[in-house]
Amino acid sequence: MLQTYHDERHYAAEVTTKYASDLLFSVIEKGVSTLNSMDHLAVTVGYKYNSTAIVKENFDTPHRIDQLELNGRPGTRAPHMWLKYQDKCISTLDLIGENFVLFTGEDNSLWRTATRNISSHLGLPINVYSIGSQGDCVESEDSWEALYDVTVTSQRAVLIRPDGFVA
């Protein structure tokens, strides 16, 4: 991840700086900003990373930066979703931050075994959580498959980096 820092952050910093500058000059000149129709939150957290640390996937619709779209696509921030975990109501974001995190469907024994092997081999801790009515985490409101744009199947999974971005 450190080797891809420039590739990922440079674009995000460039867009954010351009947006802030455009807004400032718009106010000073009382003109119309070319970017002020953009969602402020989308500019600050809705950007997408592109680097060798992110799986490349083809989507029918391109990622947009003018509106916030947190949909679990590789390179975007992991979306929030309410879950019941260990008898507490928490956000998916509460599970992210210290280690890599793998979200899976309920039947995740193959994912757990593979993750344990990879984690041991690389010396890299990876937390695995199954999501579903019988999983480690029970969905409170939304469907994690829909929110994370994962086809409904027990074999799908989403890997999230410690920085909260979908790998």
User: Looking at residue 142, which CATH number applies to its domain?
Assistant: 3.40.30.120
Q: What is the pLDDT of residue 57?
A: 66
What are the per-10-residue average pLDDT scores of the chain (167 residues)? 66 71 64 57 68 64 63 84 93 93 89 94 94 88 80 76 89
Q: Which domain holds residue 5?
A: 1-69
Tell me, letter by letter, the H, E, C secondary structure of the chain: CHHHHHHHHHHHHHHHHHHHHHHHHHHHHCCCCCCCCCCHHHHHHCCCCCCCCCCCCCCCCCCCCCCCCCCCCCCCECCCCEEEECCEEEEHHHHCCCCEEEEECCCCHHHHHHHHHHHHHHCCCEEEEEECCCCCEEECCCCHHHHCCCCCCCCCEEEECCCCEEC
Same domain, 86 and 155: yes
Asked whether residue 165 is domain-assigned, the answer is no
pLDDT of 61 reads 55
Residue type, 14: E
Regarding whether 53 and 102 lie in a shared domain, the answer is no
| Residues 87 and 30 reside in one and the same domain | no
Residues 91 and 156 both lie in one domain: yes
Q: Do 150 and 92 reside in the same domain of the chain?
A: yes
Q: What is the pLDDT of residue 75?
A: 83
- Would you say 105 and 145 are in contact if contact means Cβ atoms under 8 Å apart? yes
Residues 52 and 3 in one domain: yes
The pLDDT score that the predictor gives to residue 119 is 95
pTM, rounded to two decimals: 0.72
- The domain total for the chain is 2
